[in-house]
Amino acid sequence: MLQTYRTLLATWCQAARPYFRECASHPEWIHYGPGESAHWSVQSSMNALAAYAIAGTDPQWKDTPQGEQWRQTALALFRYAMHTHLTGDTLCTDGKQWGHHWISNLGVERMVHAINELRPYFTDDDLARWRTMTLDECDWRLDNYPVVASIDGSTGKNKPESNIWNGGILLRAAADYPDAPNAARYRDFGTKFLLNGLSRESDANNQEIFEGKPVSAWHVGGQFTENWSLDHHWYMNVGYSIICLSNLAMLHYQFQQRGQTPPACLQFHVADLWNTLRNFIFPDGRLLRLGGDSRNRYTYCQAFALPVFLFAADVLHDPLALQFEQGYLALLQKEAAQNPGQLFYAKRLENVRHTSWYYYTRLESDPALALSCALAWRRQFPIPTDFTPKANPPCSWHDDYHRSALLRTGNTIRSYTYSGEQSPVALCLPADDSSLAEWQHNLVGFFEMAKTDKVRKTELVTLHAETDSFTVSALIHWQETAPSGEGEGKYETIADRQAVAALPDGKSLVVLQYADMLKEQTLFRTRTVNLMIPNDVFNGHQRTFAGEHFQAVLPSYPGKDELLDTHSRTLVIDGKLAISLAYGADSLKIQRFAAQQVQNYHARCLTSLYVDAICATSLDWQRCRLGEVVADTGVVLTACPDGHPATAERLEVPGMLRAVKVQGADGKEYLFAANFGTETATLDAFEITLAPSEAKLLSLEGIAKLPSNRQNAASEEAIVPRREGGRDESLAFTSIN
């Protein structure tokens, strides 16, 4: 394990040299990346500092010319960072100095393990500048940065991760510099920050004692829901749950490295969050992002899962974390092996590298930083290494706030999350092949305008989750959020109705959808169904697709857009995932693209993964009129089909009712029906009545009726009331048995 870390880190240190520049005024100092005062640039350079410091102090290279060179690189990076801080005497490349910002100390806290290793090589001036910078940043926080908290990401107060790293520098400074004039205030304020990191609203009544006071006395507000989902960046963000734990892990080992006792508040709710979060990880260590990801795939948050895995194995005694650690290392090795010069992302993120030096150097340095943490901790502390590979345990989890449900049964993962990043997202895939996972509009159709987003003020979402099944129905209004014309309004454009059911067969997911236009609008591209199949480095750049009348091995990056009609109603991908069309088209199609399509939501030109999209219909530019139906489809998916994928057929039902009879993977028959209309409707043949926007799942074996997700009209509004800019938390779920 140590040798794997050493090899990856040393190879990166050799390959990263072209990204270094000398300081114009002091060529003996250097920076990695653009060298600006902006926080990502500062973090990137500090990430690189940590990588070179840990490599240069490793016993394998410590006494070699290579080790000396790496240490000198780390020291030159350190001195650039200290001298360009607001307490220093030099400007960054943009003519400014860094510091005094809510995120200005993040890079600092992530490289502390390396500072501890470099201390024997520091001059008195280095030590003095480190102390001065640290105390200056702490003093600024005391008077300028309050502790805030909110479950709702849209408020700007959902700050679990920044509360943790800001609390971290305060507690660390109090321990390292007890003679500092404000050391006592650092301890007090740092404790408050940390206890409002992994916090929930119920902590307002928590009587657990920290620093002589109950949690309720420290409490500002909840950051996580009671079921441990996180609304960071205003969607269910699994990645930032990992980021929170990563900073706690770094803080824990910083205290251990210094021979200090980690403060008790560092452990607050850590086990609670991990015990939920471990269900959102594939066996190979890749994050299962139920709500999607707004940034480049498998980079930032994924890299910082590595410190969490070591911490969970060591401190929380979870052997599954060791399997995650080994799996992620294998993924990182696989990606690095395809890159010239052995950078981590040079090929897959080539367009990022060519477009933004600022962004690319940040992404490249993140895994180097994570590896440096792991190598330093593993060579200093007796972190376990032995484990028996096994699948994640079964899980049935749901969260009311994000209207999210997850079922892990056997080797199958099925989920639906309403509050996803770019849209709701549904997933059905085998747990042992994380390369099949993608969330960009997955299984909910794709409607491309200039820039689209769901309108959050008019939502109808109901969910019912059982231990072996769940049903969801949702109404989403879409709008074009970046129209080109001056004075053009941001109108609600599409009414999108979705109904999703995970069957009790342990393998299958049914997805029904109906969408029509609320105004005349140009759609640049429309894909119904839109099952996103990644086809990139992690699966060897090729996929096998098999249907009744179609057989093909399709390589990634074909260099042109093309639409392949499979003339088949069922397709099986690599023998691991099947999709069957119930209605909406005569056959399934495979939309292929000239280049990567998975976008960074904040900068669409930055892409990070090639996918093929399975759809019922795929249309380019079209002018759609008011009332025009742009999606009316039904499909069923089966993970690990074992030669018997589930199939579905549409039943003839009136009006806006949609119903399918499904032959499950267990051989049993099910009925899934949804009312996409505004009036109560009845399926006479089954004596079923459905309220508007209600969906029901029933067994046709004559044994039992499965729970529905019907709202109780007497106690709930059909349209969920909304606060301005946020969610109403009064939504309750009811079921009709």
Confidence of residue 117 (pLDDT cuts 50, 70, 90): very high
Please give the angle made by the CA atoms of 436, 324 and 434, to the nearest 5 degrees.
Answer: 0
Closest CA to 664 of 629, 638, 694, 630: 638
Whether the predicted pLDDT of 458 surpasses 80: no
Whether the predicted pLDDT of 725 surpasses 80: no
pLDDT tens digits, one per residue of 610-628? 999 999 999 999 999 999 9
Cβ-contact 279, 392 below 8 angstroms: yes
Whether the predicted pLDDT of 435 surpasses 90: yes
Closest CA to 295 of 249, 242, 338, 233: 233
- The pLDDT value given to residue 513: 98
Q: How far apart are CA 479 and CA 450, in angstroms?
A: 10
Q: How far apart are CA 664 and CA 674, in angstroms?
A: 18
The more confidently predicted of residues 451 and 359 is 359
Here the tokens at position 205 are 């009544």
- The pLDDT value given to residue 341: 76
- The pLDDT value given to residue 348: 96
Here the tokens at position 21 are 């520049």
- The pLDDT value given to residue 125: 98
Confidence of residue 393 (pLDDT cuts 50, 70, 90): confident
CB hemisphere CA count around 173 (13 angstroms): 33
pLDDT tens digits, one per residue of 134-191? 999 999 999 999 999 999 999 999 999 999 999 999 999 999 999 999 999 999 999 9
Q: What is the mean pLDDT of residues 241-251?
A: 98
Closest CA to 366 of 302, 435, 294: 302
- The pLDDT value given to residue 342: 80
Whether the predicted pLDDT of 235 surpasses 70: yes
- The pLDDT value given to residue 232: 96
In the chain, the largest separation of any two C-alpha atoms, in whole Å, equals 86
Domains of the chain, CATH where assigned: 2-380 (1.50.10.10), 395-699 (2.70.98)
Whether the predicted pLDDT of 717 surpasses 80: no
565: left (phi over 0), alpha (psi -120 to 50) or beta: beta
Q: How far apart are CA 154 and CA 149, in angstroms?
A: 12
- The pLDDT value given to residue 459: 60
Whether the predicted pLDDT of 456 surpasses 80: no
pLDDT tens digits, one per residue of 476-493? 888 888 888 888 888 889
Dihedrals phi, psi of 564, to nearest 5 degrees: -100, 120
Other Cβ atoms within 10 Å of 506 Cβ, number: 21
Helix (H/G/I), strand (E/B), else coil: 647? strand
Percent of the chain surpassing pLDDT 90:
86
Percent of the chain surpassing pLDDT 70:
94
Whether the predicted pLDDT of 25 surpasses 50: yes
pLDDT tens digits, one per residue of 516-561? 999 999 999 999 999 999 999 999 999 999 999 999 999 999 999 9
- The pLDDT value given to residue 685: 86
Whether the predicted pLDDT of 13 surpasses 50: yes
Over the chain, what is the mean pLDDT?
Answer: 92
Whether the predicted pLDDT of 714 surpasses 50: no
Cβ-contact 651, 657 below 8 angstroms: no
Q: How far apart are CA 110 and CA 238, in angstroms?
A: 20
- The pLDDT value given to residue 452: 72
Taking the alpha carbons of 290, 293, 297, 300 in that order, is the dihedral positive or negative? negative
- The pLDDT value given to residue 483: 81
Whether the predicted pLDDT of 680 surpasses 90: yes
The more confidently predicted of residues 474 and 703 is 474
Q: What is the mean pLDDT of residues 347-361?
A: 95
Q: What is the mean pLDDT of residues 248-274?
A: 98
Closest CA to 262 of 223, 314, 215: 314
pLDDT tens digits, one per residue of 443-453? 999 999 877 76
Q: What is the mean pLDDT of residues 311-340?
A: 95
Whether the predicted pLDDT of 719 surpasses 80: no
